Structure 1
């Protein structure tokens, strides 16, 4: 089989260094004999086109990337937002880095399609002015900006954010290119852009935890105008920008006025009973018991020992894991994954004949044409 000799080997070296892996590890990942790859890197033999294609796909690049002359221009390959996240978490996995780049590509698609549509209907990101405000005051203004009602869940929080010109993606629960692995500590990340920021939330069994991650990332975007990537430790950080984002999320989800509905004299003596005590509020506000307890503690209405006891009790609970979920409604998966605003923009562009049916399918996670038509009917209410 003919082998390509004009491969830019320095770019393969750069990609390996960028992902923190050796050539042997790369050979294993793309199912090429280590000796074959070593010979190619030594200039003794090239790679077949199929081998080069597999290598390029692994790194999330096109094959032409490895055929172009010259060194890699990192400023063009990685956006400032990507570099910010990589610097915050140098240990990010190869899979996580690919996901971040994939999200950036989806945003680029969204913005390009949006420019093709009626500009009068485009919602621009116009953040509220929060400079100089305390965290509670900033959260109050942000809640007004979002137009939130008193009863909410993750979906309503998400819709409110999307309605203000942001994209909100939620990872898939099953294995695939849009999943944040279950074993990964990453709970979410945000990519700041003055035109269209993006928030990505890891899908969890408890949607209340997703809601907190969502508002934590919104805090980074509105308070700090910066990109961020966060794990469990960040969502409990007691200092710096993470603490501010945590406090912002807490006050936005549970304003001071909401706490007035909680009867302290009905608080159970044992932490195991706290969730039942707070059940009406948990369901109405779409938040976890821990979130409410933290707000009560910060307000001086709950001893720190009671909060710590609840966290210990909660950490010891054994909750059966759900499987990846049924794909019976595959046609609706793009909506769950990319959000309503993104999906509507793709469908509008397709119906306006700005893009083909095949292109729309590729933008919607390679949805089958039959499923794409089902998705259209879903939005049409048919």
Structure 2
């Protein structure tokens, strides 16, 4: 307004980071153009799935805001402590070779689970969020077909995984989204149908996830002459591998089929059995460890960055709480003690 002092550029930058917008968004004259409000990543997801619910669109916006907060806080840390996203060069590689290079880039051991896969990806400068199992703003509803989405950004990509009953399904979705980011350099949103889609990019992401989680050399530990006749017994047959690799029986069977070691009829029989079986209902969990929920949702790197900024007095206790799913102050102190090992 005329005659009044406006915001400094640094103040404007922080305001933009808080709202998950670019700085120029607040500098353009005239009314807001709705078509330009959302990021290219947001519009990509909306174009892929026009039927996205309003609730899920709000979740995507929240994720973008959290990333903006993370990047703003990270810029004030010691540069030597910041891990920058620097993806491997996959140009010209076949999908199996690309998966092998990424597996090496991630430094994966032979035994893994969802947590170790997530930790390895976060250690390479990406953010990995997992939706909360409890009703709230960080939940992907159980009845929603969406399994996950990824937001490409050359500085800090984000992967969001829907919390499911089985961690093995989360592991596959995690690597599927990683495939979109590293191979296609694009944002994506995926549901159950995309895992069996004939779309070229979806097939590539599926194959990438399969080869990364279960490389060809892993299949050598499986003996075809021990394969049961009944599809219902396949999971028991593959239990040692399922536990070691943190993947589902279906994932391994698909790799065996693609390698020409399992008849397609046997794979189809397993899928029919798996679809029809009734899983026991899990009882609702306790929120006794509410203080650790931000770590489960946003990941270790994000939480540590917020706590480091708070301890360095760059942000207030109240602001740290708002960045960590509005933790109560008492729970925030518990989270601090958890990280301090007290």
- Quick check: TM above 0.5? yes
Which of 42, 64, 68 aligns to 1:104? It is 64
CA–CA separation in structure 2 for the residues paired with 1:351 and 1:113: 12
| Aligned equivalents of 2:303, 2:281: Cα separation in 1 | 30
Deviations 1:261-318 (A, max 9, x none): 0010000000000000000000000000000000000000000000000000000010
> What's 1:295 paired with?
255
Aligned with residue 55 of structure 2, among 88, 91, 95: 95
The answer (yes or no) to whether the contact 1:216–1:246 under 8 Å persists in 2 is yes
What is the deviation of 1:76?
4.3
Aligned counterpart, 2:167? 207
Tell me how far 1:236 sits from its aligned partner.
1.6
- For 2:37, the equivalent position in structure 1 comes to 77
SS of the residue corresponding to residue 159 of structure 2 reads strand
- Whether contact under 8 Å (1:128, 1:142) holds in the other structure is yes
Partner of 1:22 in structure 2? none
Out of 171, 196, 201, the residue aligned to residue 241 of structure 1 is 201
- Alignment match of 1:348 (pick from 308, 311, 314): 308
Task: Provide, for residues 71-124 of structure 1, a one-character-per-residue CA deviation record: whole Å limited to 9, x for no partner.
Answer: 432354200000000000000000000000000000000000000111111000
Per the alignment, residue 278 of structure 1 pairs with: 238
Q: d(CA) in 2 for partners of 1:315 and 1:91?
A: 25
- Report what 2:274 is aligned to: 314
Tell me what 2:97 maps to: 137
Verify: 1:152 aligned to 2:112, yes or no.
yes
Q: CA deviation at 1:321?
A: 2.7
Matches within 5 A, 1:24-173: 71-74=31-34, 76-173=36-133
Q: How many residues align?
A: 318
SS of equivalent to 1:229? strand
State the Cα deviation string for residues 4-40 of structure 1 (Å, max 9, x = none).
xxxxxxxxxxxxxxxxxxxxxxxxxxxxxxxxxxxxx
**3-state SS of 2:99 partner:** helix
- The 2-side partners of 1:266 and 1:238 are apart by 32
What is residue 27 of structure 1 aligned with on the other side? Answer: none
Give 5+ residue unaligned stretches, structure 1: 1-59
d(CA) in 2 for partners of 1:172 and 1:267?
A: 38
Distance 2:283 2:145 in 1: 19
Structure 2 unaligned residues grouped into runs of 5+ = 1-19
Which of the numbers 236, 253, 261 marks the counterpart of 2:221? Answer: 261
Kindly state the Cα deviation for residue 187 of structure 1 after the two structures are TM-superposed. Answer: 0.2
Cα distance, 1:323 vs structure 2:
4.2
SS in 2 for 1:293: helix
Where 1:125 maps in the other structure, the secondary structure is coil
**1:193-237 per-position Cα deviation (integer Å, ceiling 9, x unaligned):** 000000000000000000000000000000000000000010122
> Is 1:171–1:202's contact at 8 Å kept on the other side of the alignment?
yes
4+ residue stretches of structure 1 with deviation over 3 A?
A: none
Q: Deviation per CA, 1:317-356: give whole Å up to 9, x if none.
A: 1002324421110000000000000000000000111101
Distance 2:125 2:281 in 1: 34
Does the 8 A contact of 1:173 with 1:324 survive in 2? no
Cα distance in structure 2, aligned partners of 1:215 and 1:351:
34
Quick check: 1:192 aligned with 2:139?
Answer: no
Cα displacement (A) at 1:163: 0.1
Identify if the C-alpha distance between structure 1 residues 271 and 322 changes in structure 2 by more than 3 Å, giving closer, same or farther.
same
* 2:140 alignment partner, SS class: coil
Query: For residue 360 of structure 1, what is the aligned residue in structure 2?
Result: 320
